[in-house]
Structure 1
Amino acid sequence: MRKLDWYILRKFLGTFFYAIGILIVITVVIDISEKLDDFVKSHLSVKQIIFEYYIGFIPHIAALLFPLFVFIAVIFFTSRLAYRSEIIAMLSAGISFRRMLRAYWVGGVLLCVLLWAGNRWVVPHADRIRDAFEDKYVNDVDESKQISNVHLRIDSFTYVTMYVYDPIYKYASGFKLEKIRNQDLYYRLEAQNVRWDSTHKTWNTGPCVVRTFNGLQETARQLADTNLKIPLSPEDLIQRSNITETLTTPELNAYIAREKLRGSEGINALYVEKYRRDASAVAVVILTLIGMAIASRKVRGGSGLHLAIGIVIGSAYIVVLQFSYTFSIKGNLSPFVAVWLPNVLFGAVAFALLRRAPK
């Protein structure tokens, strides 16, 4: 890294953090205006609002628009360098275009690592804080609603059925536990009701019937009650649809393995979230190179023309990304392909633009 590299890197990072800072301030102001009535109604102090909500909201919104604002920042400061003929001066001094890219590579990789770490650990914790606050003070979440017709696979050979589950009393009626091996039922427990014991982490049944099967032979016995220690908790029955956003990547991997074992629907959406955290970080480097290639040429329209082209390309990237996500979640497209396909396509665009950039 020479003096020129540090000059470009300072411009790069300074422009980006200034732009993302302005975005955060504007977004927070808009969000406060929308939720002010809820804050006042709940008699929340400024300290509560900041440390129980916006400490989670700010990382969420920053990570959401991180790649796009890296792209805009690169286009903005590079087009200014080109407009002031600084890039022409660098090339005239014998500095190759490839050598000039070094600072962009360093800045892009630094921001890529920052977003990668944030997506895997920081943002999920922030989303957990934000969701807990919104559920408590903003959203009208009915946690007392009963759940009907529960069917779950809790391990490789055990299935649980509940007719009705009450989340307030942690009570279920019409309980049935079955064990199947090689497509043959060999154990069944039936109980009129079960209740969750939070102290011992078990399900307590009332009078129940246990049936065992050995081929065509059936044995039945009645028990007064029993304690079932199975890998199923009340939280598993009432999990929200956006639970994956609040899980760190190690927790998400464990959650995917469990849901896959249970045969749950929507597994593709979980894999899309998992791969997205890495792919969006790599997109930072790709968009950095595209932005540099576009804005390094001095044109009559100046920064305005470069920004217009950048907005078109950024919009195209988002459209392709959303289409691929939808085809994976709603269709049969592989989640890995769906998440990485936009990066591959725009990586090819970056390569083509860099080859045609002024040398």
Structure 2
Amino acid sequence: MIKKLDWYIIQKFLTTFFFAIMILVVISCVIDYSEKVDNIVQKKAPFMVVLNYYKNFIPHITALLFHLFIFIATIFFTSKMAYKSEIIAILSSGVSFQRFLRPYLIGASFLCAISLAANHWIIPLANKQRVAFEDKYINDGNYAIPGENVHLAYAKDAYVYIKNFNFTSGKGNGFTAEKMKGTLLLEKMMADDVSYDSIKQTWHLHNIIVRRNDTLHETVTKLDDIYINYPFKPTDLNRNEALKEALTTPELIEYIKTESLRGRENLNMFYVEKDRRTSQPFAGLILTVIGACIASRKIRGGSGFHLALGISISAIYVMFMQLSTTFSTKASLDPLISVWIPNFIFAIIAYYLYRRQVK
């Protein structure tokens, strides 16, 4: 049963957390608007559209630091309780430290459940509209494929390669299409320039060389122009990384399957995003235990020292997360392991601090 002590601590926990998040949201919106105001005024974005953007921006920025603000809130209100000798009175009344931690775990579990549901469904839906606004009014809708070449498998044993493509003009260069039969190259079509006709939904190739091979004979054909109805559109070539944030988890899983069939290289950033949505909420639970263990002792320096320590630990956690994510996207570390490594390390720290407090 949840008793008065539990309700007292849970109320302080949630009140402090939501107050901290509210301050974060206000500051973040002001900073973001100051950075984008020139584009917004220049593009004459309607007031309601801008308002809708910030309605979707708030869940995005909140989700980024949700678990860290759980930790900061825990440190802050627990330190205040310790400074007022409330924790000493609670423990002196016969309440064990395990029992004292129960309301912390209840509050953290509640916030963890909210974060879990939001990460998988609510935040991506908000990000769709946020990214659409930024594409139209901030980024000018201009995307260029990165320096590396883009490969796409659009059918079984059929591949296409484009060296460079501009999504605004719908034009590119260095186009190659290959048809295979096992390890045998049946046809290779090379074009200097390629453009997409959005009305006819066909691809227009310029200065083409077609090489065909039937195992016995090879033919070479040169063409000036040709229209081909390939089963893919320019959007299928778009490697905008913000896309992963705008897909719900079921959509993200389906997207990964589709891109894998198309032969896209290095999908680890999408696997990292999928697994991060689950690991991040549990980080809040682990950090709550660490915060409660650290701030429950009354020490010289009071809340200021505890907050400084909490911010330092938060920075270390972010550093570990960034480092492990980089190892996954750049060095082929398993994405599932990379997003859970910081949680495992801090879980060990939490257990050590807990055992120390119990003793």
Give the TM-score category using the shorter length: 0.7 to 0.9
Which segment drifts farther, 240-249 or 341-350? 240-249
Summarize the alignment of residues 15-30 of structure 1 with structure 2, pairs less than 5 Å apart. 15-30=16-31
Query: What secondary structure does 2:241 align onto?
Result: coil
> 1:130 aligns to what?
130
Q: Which residue matches 1:323?
A: 323
Q: CA deviation at 1:175?
A: 5.7
Kindly indicate whether residue 42 of structure 2 is the aligned counterpart of residue 41 of structure 1.
yes
1:59-98 matches, within 5 Å, as: 59-98=59-98
Report if the CA contact (8 A) 1:146-1:167 is conserved.
no
Paired residue secondary structure (1:130): helix
What is the CA–CA distance in structure 2 between the aligned matches of 1:145 and 1:320, rounded to whole Å? Answer: 30
The answer to whether the Cα contact below 8 Å between 1:206 and 1:226 also exists between their aligned partners in 2 is no
After superposition, where does 1:141-220 map in structure 2 within 5 Å? 141-142=141-142, 151-162=151-162, 167=167, 170=170, 176-186=176-186, 215-216=215-216
Backbone CA RMSD of aligned residues? 3.4
Report the more deviating stretch, 82-91 or 134-143: 134-143
* 1:29-65 C-alpha deviation (Å, 9 max, x unpaired): 22223333333333344323211x2012111111111
State which drifts further: 102-111 or 152-161.
152-161
Conserved 8 A contact 1:146-1:165: no
Whole-angstrom CA distance in 2 between matches of 1:281 and 1:268 = 20
- Say which SS state the counterpart of residue 333 (structure 1) adopts: coil
Write the distance in 2 (CA, Å) between the matches of 1:207 and 1:163: 15
Larger CA deviation: 321-330 vs 218-227: 218-227
2:54 is aligned with 1:54: yes
Letter in 1 for 2:21: I
CA distance in 2, matches of 1:76, 1:20: 13
Question: Which deviates more, 180-189 or 289-298?
Answer: 180-189
Q: Report 1:229-244 matches (<5 A).
A: 230=231, 232-244=232-244
- Alpha carbons of 1:334 and 1:88: their partners in 2 closer, same or farther (altered >3 Å)? same
User: Take 1:269 and 1:145, find their aligned partners in 2: how far apart are those partners?
Assistant: 16
Alpha-carbon distance between aligned partners in 2 of 1:170 and 1:140, rounded to the nearest angstrom: 15
Structure-2 separation of matches of 1:197 and 1:41: 30
Which amino acid in structure 2 is aligned with residue 94 of structure 1? Answer: G
- Aligned counterparts of 1:61 and 1:302: Cα–Cα separation in 2: 30
1:13 aligns with 2:19: no
Deviations 1:206-249 (A, max 9, x none): 9999987654467999999886462x222112342322122221
Q: Tell me, what secondary structure is at the counterpart of 1:277?
A: helix
Residue 347 of structure 2 corresponds to residue 347 of structure 1: yes
Residue pair 2:145, 2:165 contacting (<8 A) in 1 also? no
Match of 1:306 in 2: 306
Which amino acid in structure 2 is aligned with residue 11 of structure 1? Answer: K
Letter in 2 for 1:269: M
Amino acid at match of 1:179: K
Please identify, of 188-197 and 121-130, the stretch whose mean Cα deviation from structure 2 is larger: 188-197
Distance 1:273 1:156, change over 3 A: farther
Unaligned runs of 5+ in 2: none
Give, in whole Å, the separation in 1 of the partners of 2:146 and 2:340: 40
Q: 2:7 is matched by which residue type in structure 1?
A: W
Q: Give the equivalent residue in structure 1 for 2:332.
A: 332
TM-score (norm. length: structure 1): 0.85
Deviation of 1:326 after TM superposition, in Å, equals 1.6
Q: CA 1:56–1:209 in structure 2 vs 1: closer, same or farther (change >3 Å)?
A: same
Q: Which moved more, 1:266-275 or 1:191-200?
A: 191-200
Q: Distance in 2 between matches of 1:148 and 1:26?
A: 38
User: How many Å separate the matches in 2 of 1:310 and 1:144?
Assistant: 41
Q: Is the alpha carbon distance of 1:89 and 1:167 closer, same or farther for their aligned partners in structure 2, counting shifts above 3 Å? A: closer
User: Percent of counterpart pairs with the same letter?
Assistant: 47
| Structure 2 length-normalised TM | 0.85
